[in-house]
Structure 1
Amino acid sequence: MNVAEDSEHIVMLRDTLRRFIEKEMPRDQVSRWDKENMFPRDVHDKLVALGLTGLTVPEEYGGSGRDITATIVTIEELCSRSMAVGCAYIQSSCYAGLNLVEVGSEEQRRTLLPRVASEGLMFAYGFTEPDVGADLASVRTSGRREGDELVIRGSKRFCSGAAISDYIYALVRTGPAEEKYRNLSLVLIPPDTPGVVLEHQETMGLKGGGTFDVSFDDVRVPVKNVVGGAEGIGQGWPKLVGPGLDVEKIEVAAMALGIAKGAIGDAWAYAQERVQFGKPICSIQSIRHMLADVKTRFEACRLMTYSAAALIDSRRPAAAETAMAKLFVCDTARDIVLTCQQILGAYGYVRDFDMERYVRDILVMPILGGSSAIQRNNIANLLKLPR
């Protein structure tokens, strides 16, 4: 039995999500969201009404309690149909909910977590910069304290969902750059604050929330917007950054899993409907083998993802396992989707077929949230492989 399906509440959650997807996320609408690069706010609001953004929020703050496995199930199911909806869900339940629970001040938890559960409040990650990618501790965006305010100056790149979010969750340097892993802070910056400029980046996939370059020109925010409160100044590494990034690895794995699930479902159906030489192509041995392979690889991906989620739910160390899941699932899911595209032949390359969207979306998964090369480095280091 799959580790994600051995409890009644997870089975019920999947059933609820599948009914929701068929009713609120029909294929023609999903295609329109992708083509118009639009975020369906009304659908996000309906997910909130179901209580799904509260899966990472403790009951005392208006949620249903921290349940990482249920959160990952939700990401997988939503992303099997639409990244526009799935990514926004992550920005709410994970980027906002999980991070606030782990490292927010009590005031931030008290004021913002109920909004995650009841309004679907969203964060956009502001980590990457034009010259800073995997080496996050080298960020150059600065935060200078002036009384009860921080003055932010610098720029961020690949800030996905910035325009639809309530806050940019930005990593900034609040002290001398010479001490690389010190003097870093996380700051909540509303994107409509004077001095914040968003510049849209046109990307191949992940349509919906948009991806942005963000510049901060002497942007002023209250010191209380520092994650963890005033005591959080200079505490951004690794105390604040670490928890969110570990969970993000399996969030991305779940996204890839969802895309692969959608592609397999379409390829499986197409192979039974498409007739050549007087019979369905699923009777052709090479097609049968391709379908058997993608189903097998998908099950391996699923087991790795939910095994890592179970470790996090049980509060056990999971850094190596989440890195392994991110590496294996994203690389394997990419291969699964490309194989499914081959099964559809020329139709897999046509814009009117969902398979073309799956291909565009899956190609970024081995890059998003830490590239496959970085994960390999992380795994070797976490397992203490001598240099």
Structure 2
Amino acid sequence: MNAVDAAGLGIGDEYPPRIMGVLNVSEESPYDPSVFDDAGDAARYVDEELIGEGADIVDIGLESANKRFDVLTADQELDRLHTALETIERVSGDAIFSIETRYAEVADEALSRGFDMVNDISGFADPEMPTVCADHDVAVVKMASPPDLERPGAVEETDWAGRKSPEWASQADYVDQVFEALKQNGLTDKTIIDPAFGGWSEAQTLEGDRETFRRLREFRALGRPVLVSINRKNFLGDIAGRETEDRLPVSLAATSMAVERGAHVIRTHDVAETRDAALVGDAFTDRARVVTDEFSVSRLDVRSSRELRAHLEERGIDPKGADDWCSLAIKVDGLDGDDRVRVASIASEYDTAVKHVNTGQLLLVGSTAAISDVSAHLRDANGDLRGLGESFAEMLE
């Protein structure tokens, strides 16, 4: 994992999780407590509610990215920039200031006049954005989005057959598309990646967000720090049946899980509570790393063969061996004696270790490939073991 220096703030595995508080100077933004059009009021909010509550980074948005609103032009964003610049001049607390924009012209002006980093929600749709950020030597958050200045985040609506290949597009699922969108137009040396949670397009679904969150560790294969913006998002509210104002508890639960799964920056409107939840997640995160004067050794954060395949592919290594190298242990309860004997016999044919833990329990230990072969055998068999094979296959996904 390549750490990023954001104006002196370290972001990466060897640093604590960083909290990005949000300030909006856009009247369209949906979350009223963070919206200001007066620089004095905005500065007080930043000092008291963001930096005072533990924010390391303050992200200032000039417009709402909500799909219900028209996209501002670069000139319109520049017209609003003066409020953001006056705000950071009045802030007395210490934080890194990030400008949220999709335009290189706006980023260049903001960075030249006091901002420290960029949050690009259009994934380098402006081809000059990487150059501007590199020239200023600043960190930049790149959200997963096809290069489209008009509508960020619509990965499902992208012509991946033309942009990537017909073969790839026919097999890619939503998370594959998000992963590929992050790679479009490259990455700078100080890029932080954002998998793009939220309703950025009509095509994006709650299930897509849930699957992205479930597979969050896969994005570590890109070797860059990860930012997540999940605060009060719909996919969490849907799980708990809560509206936006009542979603803080589910947001905090997800924050701890996100940090344990690899997130380094959490973007939030609820700074103090989110900071505590992130620290809990960090305290129970196990990523072994040893550094000496001569070398460093780190263990890949890999929990499945799919995650290993992502790491191998990004390193130019044939991923076909991932199933042979990853091991699984599967416990089966409830089989009667005859069925346990049958499953054990089948498993032994595929180099899978079998243990009868007790009267009603069976433990299978083997490579992902071996367990997959057992699953296929059980699914091909007639009778009551077919369902067991299908259950194995579901766990292998």
Mark yes or no: TM-score above 0.5. Answer: no
Of structures 1 and 2, the one scoring higher in RCO (CA 8 A, sep 6+) is 1
- If the length of structure 1 is used for normalisation, what is the TM-score? 0.26
Larger gyration radius, structure 1 or structure 2:
2
